[in-house]
């Protein structure tokens, strides 16, 4: 039996695919920015924060890194309403992605912070800078420079992991693929097209993160060289 490919039946649902792509982009933009921000705070707490906060962040990181993302998503979406916290599918997906990326970002950024020379930190503290100021002005950028490739890869992984959010009926790209194949029964074509879209999105996201890193993380503002002072006759400048 020779399989007859029919991609036209998938292309009929272009609007559905576009909506799925837009929802996936929305998830990764909101979840990525908030997740990395949470990771920066977590890295500060684990390296510079008070002991009680270190314990809380450490427990949070271990909990999230050692449990499946699907379980975390189900706990938020199905578990929270049982105690009176009502949220939508999209809100649950964003919260789950932020919490998940935040935990992994915490450890990635903390590794970069640990690689900073202790002498730089001690020199900043000797200038009466607070620990928060030291972290912001002395530690954060060099730490991000050291771990930016790993952090970028984790953001891409979370973007690809957003496909799990279709399990709670978030209408992202995987949800669109499931919807299409349930209508035309062309599962091979539907998931092949979806796979290619995910591949393109992952490559584009890496390029965007590379640009962000080059523009805002690794960039050093140029310092204008002082103009030479002309020496005139008679010793006058």
pLDDT of the residue at 133: 83
- Does the structure show a pLDDT above 70 at 138? yes
The per-residue pLDDT for 224 is 47
Structure tokens given for 168 = 């709670």
The mean predicted confidence, pLDDT, of the chain is: 89
Pair 203, 145: CB distance under 8 Å: no
- Per DSSP, helices labelled H in 66-88 are 69-74
Q: Is 233 left (phi over 0), alpha (psi -120 to 50) or beta?
A: beta
Burial group, residue 78, by CB count within 10 angstroms (0-12, 13-18, 19+): exposed
| Assigned token pair, 108 | 């990635």
Q: Specify the pLDDT at position 9.
A: 87
pLDDT above 70 covers a percentage of the chain that reads 92
Segment among 23-32, 131-140, 162-171, 180-189 with least mean pLDDT: 131-140
In this prediction, residue 1 carries a pLDDT of: 61
Residue 204 reports pLDDT greater than 60? yes
CA 145 to chain centre: 15
Interval 151-171 mean pLDDT: 96
- DSSP one-letter code for 169: T
pLDDT of residue 231: 47
Residue carrying structure tokens 């590379």: 210
The Cα–Cα gap between 155 and 67 comes to 18
pLDDT digit string, tens, across residues 95-129: 999 999 999 999 999 999 988 878 887 888 788 78
| Helix ranges (DSSP H) in 80-186 | 89-114, 118-126, 131-134, 140-161, 173-184
68 or 3, which is more confident: 68
Residue from 76, 90, 95 nearest 35 by CA? 95
Output phi, psi for 128, to 5 deg: 70, 25
pLDDT (average), residues 31-60: 94
């Amino acid at each position: 039996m020779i399989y007859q490919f029919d991609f036209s039946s998938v292309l009929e649902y272009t609007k559905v695919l576009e909506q799925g792509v837009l929802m996936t982009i929305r998830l990764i933009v909101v979840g990525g920015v908030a997740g990395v921000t949470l990771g920066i705070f977590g890295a500060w707490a684990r390296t510079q924060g008070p002991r009680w906060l270190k314990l809380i962040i450490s427990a949070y990181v271990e909990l999230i890194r050692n449990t499946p993302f699907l379980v975390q998503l189900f706990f938020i979406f199905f578990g929270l309403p049982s105690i009176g916290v009502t949220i939508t599918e999209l809100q649950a997906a964003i919260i789950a992605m932020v919490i998940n990326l935040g935990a992994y970002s915490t450890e990635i950024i903390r590794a970069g912070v640990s690689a900073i020379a202790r002498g730089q930190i001690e020199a900043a503290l000797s200038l009466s800078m607070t620990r928060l100021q030291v972290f912001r002005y002395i530690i954060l950028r060099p730490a991000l420079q050291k771990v930016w490739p790993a952090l970028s890869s984790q953001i891409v992984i979370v973007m690809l992991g957003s496909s799990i959010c279709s399990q709670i009926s978030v209408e992202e790209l995987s949800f669109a693929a499931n919807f299409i194949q349930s209508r035309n029964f062309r599962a091979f074509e539907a998931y092949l097209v979806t796979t290619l879209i995910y591949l393109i999105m992952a490559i584009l996201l890496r390029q965007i993160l590379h640009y962000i890193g080059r523009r805002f993380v690794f960039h050093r503002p140029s310092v204008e060289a002082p103009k030479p002072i002309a020496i005139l006759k008679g010793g006058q400048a």
